[in-house]
C-alpha cells in the first residue's frame, strides 16, 4: 500500500494541486462550481490539451516543437478555403484528409531536420514555424474566412450527449496517445530514446525512426487541434495560434513532462492544461486585468517547474 502510494505520489500531488485551486476558486466565487462553468473550463483546456499531447511526445524524446501554432494557422487557412458553403460533402472529406496529411508532413519535416540533419530541435522547429506561418499568410490573400458549413461548425462548436465536442475530441486523442505510450512498442521506444539515446541505439532501437514518428504525431495532433479550433472559432486567420506553442509547453511543463526527455505521462498533461486554464479562468473571474494574466502565466511556468522535483533536481 505504502509503495503503491509512493509510486503515484507525483500524480496524487498534482491532483491535489488541482483540487486546491478549484476549492479556492469556489470559495471566491460560488458560481465557479456549476456544471456549466466546469464544462466551460474543460472546453477551453481541451485545445491546449490536444496541442500539449503532441508537444509532450516531442519532449519525451528530448526535443521540443515550436511549430504547432503555425501548423494550426496553416490548417485553419486551408479549411477556410475548403469548407466554405457551396463545397460538396466529398470535397470536404477529401479536403480534411489532405489537410491532416499536410499537418503530419509539417511534423515530419521537423522530424527529418532533427533526426537526419541533426539540427537542434529548438531551431529546426522555429525555422519550420516561420515557413508554415509565411505560407499561411500567403494563402490567406488578405481575406478572413468565416462562411463555414453547419456540419463543419458542429465539429468544434456542437454538443454530443450534453458535452461540448472539443472535450470529446481531446478525450479521444488522449486515450489514443495514452494507450500508444503505455501499451505499444512505439511508446516504449519513445521513452527509451528520451531517457538515454545512446543506450537506446545500442539496444537496437531505431532512434531516427522514433524521433521522426514523434514529431510527425505532434504535427498530426496540431492538425486535429486546428480543425476543432477553426470550427469552434468559426473563422480562419493567419495570425491564429501565435501563443499556442508556449501555452502547450507551459501545460506540459506544469504537468511534469521533463525537458530532458523520457519522463512524464499523458495524465500529467491533462493536469497541466487544467491548472493553466483554471488559473486564467479564475483571474478573469476575479476581474484581474488581462495584461497581468500573461505575466502570471510566466510566473506559474517557472514556479511549477521549480516545484517539480524531477526537473528541478540538480545533477548529482
Partner 1 sequence: MKRRFLRQIPMTLPLLFAMVVLFAIFVGPAKYLKLSNIMNVIVQCTSGVGIVALASFLAICSTGVDLSLGGIVSLSGMLTAKLLTWDVPLLSGLREQSPALLLALAVLASIATGALVGSLNGLILSRTNIPSFIITLGTYKICETLSRVIADGTTVRVNGNAAFEFIGGGSLLNVQQIVKQGARQSVRTVGVLPVSVLILFFLYLVFSIVMKRTRFGTYVYAIGGNYDAAELSGIDTRRTRFRAFLLGGMIAAVTGIIMTSRLTAASASNGLGLEFDGIAAAVVGGAAMTGGRSTPWRTLIGAFIISVLRNGFNMIGMSNSLQMIAIGAVLIFVVAVDAARNRR
Q: Does 288 bind partner 1 (CB under 8 A)?
A: no
Considering beta carbons, is residue 8 or 309 the nearer one to partner 1? 309
Q: Does 17 bind partner 1 (CB under 8 A)?
A: no
Distances (CA, A) of 221 to 54, 215, 244, 289, 316: 6, 10, 13, 32, 36
Q: Please pick, from the candidates 105, 137, 176, 206, the single residue that binds partner 1 as defined by CB under 8 A.
A: 137
Q: Does 306 bind partner 1 (CB under 8 A)?
A: yes
Beta strand pairing call for 163-164 and 159-160: antiparallel
DSSP three-state, residue 145: strand
Q: Does 291 bind partner 1 (CB under 8 A)?
A: yes
Q: Return the residues of window 61-100 that contact partner 1 according to CB under 8 A.
A: 64
Q: Does 108 bind partner 1 (CB under 8 A)?
A: no
C-beta of residue 248 within 8 angstroms of C-beta of residue 265: no
Q: Does 313 bind partner 1 (CB under 8 A)?
A: yes
Stretch that binds partner 1, among 93-101, 198-206, 209-217, 305-313 (CB under 8 A): 305-313
DSSP three-state, residue 159: strand
- C-alpha to C-alpha distance for 150 and 144, rounded to whole angstroms: 18
C-beta of residue 72 within 8 angstroms of C-beta of residue 134: no
**Nearest alpha carbon to residue 248 among 62, 43, 22, 67:** 67
* Residue whose cell numbers read 511556468: 301
User: In the bound complex, what is the minimum distance in angstroms from residue 222's beta carbon to partner 1?
Assistant: 17
Considering beta carbons, is residue 7 or 138 the nearer one to partner 1? 138
Residues within the interface to partner 1 (CB under 8 A)? 64, 113, 117-120, 122-124, 126-131, 133-138, 238, 246, 249-250, 253, 259-260, 289, 291-292, 294-299, 301-302, 305-306, 311-315
Amino acid at each position: 500500500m505504502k509503495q503503491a502510494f509512493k509510486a503515484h505520489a507525483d500524480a496524487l500531488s498534482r491532483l491535489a494541486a488541482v483540487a486546491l485551486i478549484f476549492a479556492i476558486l469556489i470559495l471566491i466565487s460560488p458560481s465557479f462550481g456549476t456544471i456549466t462553468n466546469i464544462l466551460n473550463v474543460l472546453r477551453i483546456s481541451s485545445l491546449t490539451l490536444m496541442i500539449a499531447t503532441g508537444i509532450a511526445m516531442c519532449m519525451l524524446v528530448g526535443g521540443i516543437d515550436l511549430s504547432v501554432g503555425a501548423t494550426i494557422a496553416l490548417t485553419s487557412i486551408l479549411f477556410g478555403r475548403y469548407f466554405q458553403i457551396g463545397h460538396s460533402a466529398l470535397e470536404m472529406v477529401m479536403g480534411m484528409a489532405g489537410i491532416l496529411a499536410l499537418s503530419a508532413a509539417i511534423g515530419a519535416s521537423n522530424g527529418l531536420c532533427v533526426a537526419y540533419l541533426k539540427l537542434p530541435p529548438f531551431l529546426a522547429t522555429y525555422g519550420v514555424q516561420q515557413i508554415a506561418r509565411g505560407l499561411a499568410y500567403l494563402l490567406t490573400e488578405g481575406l478572413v474566412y468565416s462562411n463555414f458549413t453547419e456540419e463543419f461548425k458542429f465539429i468544434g462548436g456542437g454538443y454530443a450527449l450534453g458535452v461540448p465536442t472539443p472535450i470529446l475530441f481531446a478525450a479521444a486523442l488522449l486515450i489514443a496517445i495514452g494507450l500508444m505510450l503505455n501499451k505499444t512498442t512505439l511508446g516504449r521506444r519513445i521513452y527509451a530514446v528520451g531517457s538515454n539515446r545512446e543506450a537506446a541505439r545500442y539496444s537496437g532501437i531505431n532512434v531516427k525512426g522514433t524521433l521522426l514518428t514523434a514529431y510527425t504525431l505532434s504535427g498530426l495532433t496540431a492538425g486535429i487541434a486546428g480543425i476543432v479550433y477553426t470550427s469552434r472559432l468559426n473563422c480562419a486567420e493567419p495570425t491564429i495560434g501565435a501563443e499556442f506553442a508556449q501555452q502547450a509547453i507551459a501545460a506540459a511543463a506544469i504537468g511534469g513532462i521533463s525537458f530532458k526527455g523520457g519522463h512524464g505521462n499523458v495524465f500529467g498533461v491533462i493536469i497541466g492544461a487544467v491548472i493553466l486554464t483554471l488559473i486564467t479562468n479564475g483571474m478573469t473571474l476575479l476581474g484581474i486585468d488581462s495584461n497581468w494574466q500573461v505575466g502570471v502565466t510566466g510566473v506559474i511556468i517557472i514556479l511549477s517547474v521549480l516545484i517539480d522535483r524531477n526537473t528541478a533536481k540538480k545533477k548529482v
